[in-house]
Amino acid sequence: MCGIVGYIGVKDSLNVLIDGLKRLEYRGYDSSGVSLLCKETGNIKTIKKAGKIKDLEDEFKKNKPCKSHAGIAHTRWATHGEPNDVNAHPHGDCFNKISIVHNGIIENYRSLKNYLAGKGHKFVSETDTEVLAHLIEHFYRKDLIDAVKKALLRVEGTYGIVVISSDHPDMLVAARKGSPLVIGRSDNEMFIASDASAIIAHTNQVLYMQDEDVAVLTKNDIELSKVESAKSIDPEFVEIEMTLSQIEKGGYDHFMLKEIFEQPESLRDTEVGRLDKENGTARLNGIKDYFKKLLDADRIVITACGTSWHASLIGKSLIETYTGIPVEVDYASEFRYRNPIITERTVVIVVSQSGETADTLAALREAKSKGASVLGICNVVGSSIARETDAGIYTHAGPEIGVASTKAFTAQVMAFALLAIGLGRKKLLSFEQGLSLINELEKIPGKVNEILHDKNKIESICRKTYKKKNFLYLGRGFNFPVALEGALKLKEISYIHAEGYPAAEMKHGPIALIDENMPALVIALKDSIYEKIISNIKEIKARKGYVIAIANKGDKEIKDIADDVIYIPETKEEFSPILSIIPLQLIAYKIAVMRGLDVDMPRNLAKSVTVE
Ligand code: G6P
């Protein structure tokens, strides 16, 4: 989604801003732009370009940038108006005295635009953001902070903004409501961005802005207040844990591949300090005050989007299996609009890698407004969802840059396994059962490593199939959500149509599609429903389908039935999704590479969808 970078200090601001934008590229965007406060002329110079940041850099080279130590920059993911040079941010006022970058949506922009047009303001773009620039101009009487605050009080919707003015060349004014902004401090310079990854090359001292905060940044100082009040707030900077190497490719061709291979380590990080062998249980300190609430719950409702929703489906089966507590899983975008039934005893769990997905955040707020206790499973520390939930479990998978989520998914399933065991020990699980589960979870990272370094047939299978137009992914029980997730990975990065289905449901529709041109990837592990899935494979073979099976090592029978087999180690049935997804991630990755596609930045997708 859209990304923001701002800088004020002593360095050449263009370099800092472009470098920051490049670090935000992973979020997905279709145009970008920069406004510089020019040292010599005192004017604002803005250049914007549809396409890649490289195109913006080329444009700056052609146009000779001015000398500047302060500026703002943006990557835009189009919502209002098509992705072109004019609609790209920053946006300005009528006289090029004010420039603004904005994430979020101004919902009442039409009425504001009509009002301002009536007052003679001239608009050049179709965006909601340009309206905000003119609204600030409308209120501007030499006091930029006052004008920004007055404008924001008239705005409905969400925003993370940074504003500059040629009348105030020594300051940036930023404000947040619903769209994250993080400020970084160093000697003689201040940074601001929508995502810490854009600034950690410069500093590890950061301040996460809260909703309704207004920050005024000069190169040596920060003043913090609220939109509705001038009273100053003490700025609290914290040390950020993220390191530069975590957000660089480290020798891999793509972030996605790096993140797939990081899974043994990220899974260990999710488990660390949480496997309690002495008591045969999992220790989750973040939610300990809500344990009783969970155990007494009449229902647990899990809500999420995309890959996090798939992990939640596995979470449901895990919790129900070990506790007997009924669990529902809902898309966050549906949950928030269907007036969900929430009682005092309902506990809602929201799951999000980024902690910023707009629909998930809105579902969280809806659940809270109905009186539910809301817990989170999040990856990004300090994110909006992590902050707004009553308590939560961090997955600790480390920064995930590839748009197609991989290590965050396995970490989420691991977090659910830990939660289910912790609760289960107070419900259906004995000490011996709990201990045996904990011992097996401890082995999972090693088994993932084994799959990643196995010289299996993935490469040759991808060669055979990468030109196909459709794929079917089938699984049952705990592995049905893995079929959904495998299909999603392929769709996201290789643009091949893929459907995930419960294997037995195939007979009720998708079987009509089966022929030699539609590969069927079937997860057929030696579990309680193995025989059933073998029958499903036979049904496909009887219709000349091409079957790729994901099977357990040592399964000899499957070789004679499936066309190709990828073997993975055995584990307990309920943990098998963490292993069975690994080959499916690799298949999606390799097929996208063979098709010559931009794996880390697939078209139209955004890493974190911060609009509804
Ligand atoms: C976007 C991403 C997906 C992700 C989903 C939910 O669609 O492209 O990879 O699964 O958002 O994101 P979250 O950060 O809430 O888990």
Rounded to the nearest whole angstrom, what is the distance from the C-alpha of residue 337 to the centroid of ligand 1?
Answer: 19
The span from the CA of 270 to the CA of 159, in Å, is 32
Is ligand 1 within 6 A of the CB of residue 28?
Answer: no
pLDDT at residue 245, as a whole number: 80
Tokens of 67: 């000398």
Quick: pLDDT tens for 141-151: 999 999 999 99
CATH of domain 3-246: 3.60.20.10
Q: Does the active-site annotation cover 94?
A: no
Between β-strands 275-276 and 238-239, what pairing exists: parallel, antiparallel or unpaired?
unpaired
Of 609, 611, 612, best ligand 1 pocket probe by most atoms within 8 Å of the beta carbon:
609
> Which of 220, 135, 233 lies closest to 172, judged by CA?
220
Of 259, 302, 357, 611, best ligand 1 pocket probe by most atoms within 8 Å of the beta carbon:
357
Question: What does DSSP assign to residue 123?
Answer: -
Atom of ligand 1 nearest to the CA of 408: 16
Indicate the helix (H) or strand (E) that contains 185.
Answer: strand 182-186
Q: Which residues contact 209 (CB under 8 A, 6 or more apart)?
A: 160, 174, 175, 176, 180, 181, 182, 183, 215
Atom of ligand 1 nearest to the CA of 354: 14
- pTM for this predicted structure: 0.84
Tokens of 443: 């082995």
Contact 188, 220 (CB under 8 A): yes
The span from the CA of 76 to the CA of 5, in Å, is 12
Atom of ligand 1 nearest to the CA of 385: 15
The span from the CA of 476 to the CA of 310, in Å, is 14
Q: Rounded to the nearest 5 degrees, what angle is found at the Cα of 164, between the Cα atoms of 161 and 170?
A: 125
Indicate the helix (H) or strand (E) that contains 35.
Answer: strand 31-38
Matching residue, tokens 């690994």 = 582
Is ligand 1 within 6 A of the CB of residue 373?
Answer: no
Is ligand 1 within 6 A of the CB of residue 306?
Answer: yes
Is ligand 1 within 6 A of the CB of residue 605?
Answer: yes
pLDDT at residue 75, as a whole number: 95
Residue of minimum CA distance from atom 7 in ligand 1: 306
- Is the omega angle on the peptide bond into residue 65 within 30 degrees of 0, that is, cis? no
Is ligand 1 within 6 A of the CB of residue 35?
Answer: no
Rounded to the nearest whole angstrom, what is the distance from the C-alpha of residue 476 to the centroid of ligand 1?
Answer: 24
Contact 164, 44 (CB under 8 A): yes
Rounded to the nearest whole angstrom, what is the distance from the C-alpha of residue 577 to the centroid of ligand 1?
Answer: 19
Quick: pLDDT tens for 255-304: 999 999 999 999 999 999 999 999 999 999 999 999 999 999 999 999 99
Matching residue, tokens 């996460």 = 208
- Which stretches in the chain have pLDDT values below 50? none
Is ligand 1 within 6 A of the CB of residue 402?
Answer: no
Whole-Å CA distances, 4 to 132, 168, 176, 536: 16, 20, 12, 50
* Number of Cα atoms under 13 Å in the Cβ half of residue 476: 18
Residue of minimum CA distance from atom 3 in ligand 1: 306
Q: Which residues contact 370 (CB under 8 A, 6 or more apart)?
A: 340, 342
CATH 3.60.20.10 range(s) for the chain read 3-246
Is ligand 1 within 6 A of the CB of residue 312?
Answer: no
Q: Does the active-site annotation cover 2?
A: yes
Rounded to the nearest whole angstrom, what is the distance from the C-alpha of residue 403 to the centroid of ligand 1?
Answer: 8
**Set 45, 113, 177, 607: catalytic member:** 607
Of 607, 611, 612, best ligand 1 pocket probe by most atoms within 8 Å of the beta carbon:
607
The span from the CA of 301 to the CA of 456, in Å, is 39
Of 388, 405, 407, 490, best ligand 1 pocket probe by most atoms within 8 Å of the beta carbon:
405
Atom of ligand 1 nearest to the CA of 332: 15
pLDDT at residue 81, as a whole number: 81
Is ligand 1 within 6 A of the CB of residue 406?
Answer: no
Contact 589, 572 (CB under 8 A): no
Q: Rounded to the nearest 5 degrees, what angle is found at the Cα of 74, between the Cα atoms of 73 and 78?
A: 160
The domain defined by 454-600 folds into: Rossmann fold (3.40.50)
CATH 3.40.50.10490 range(s) for the chain read 249-452, 454-600
Q: What is the 3-state secondary structure (H, E, C) of 298-359?
A: CEEEEEECHHHHHHHHHHHHHHHHHHCCCEEEEEHHHHCCCCCCCCCCEEEEEEECCCCCHH
The span from the CA of 207 to the CA of 420, in Å, is 34
pLDDT at residue 230, as a whole number: 85
Name the CATH code of domain 249-452 (choices 3.50.50.60, 3.20.20.220, 3.60.20.30, 3.40.50.10490). Answer: 3.40.50.10490
Contact 588, 494 (CB under 8 A): yes
Secondary structure of residue 443 in the 3-state scheme: helix
pLDDT at residue 28, as a whole number: 79
Contact 503, 522 (CB under 8 A): yes
End-to-end CA separation in angstroms for the chain: 12
Is ligand 1 within 6 A of the CB of residue 352?
Answer: yes
The span from the CA of 558 to the CA of 579, in Å, is 18
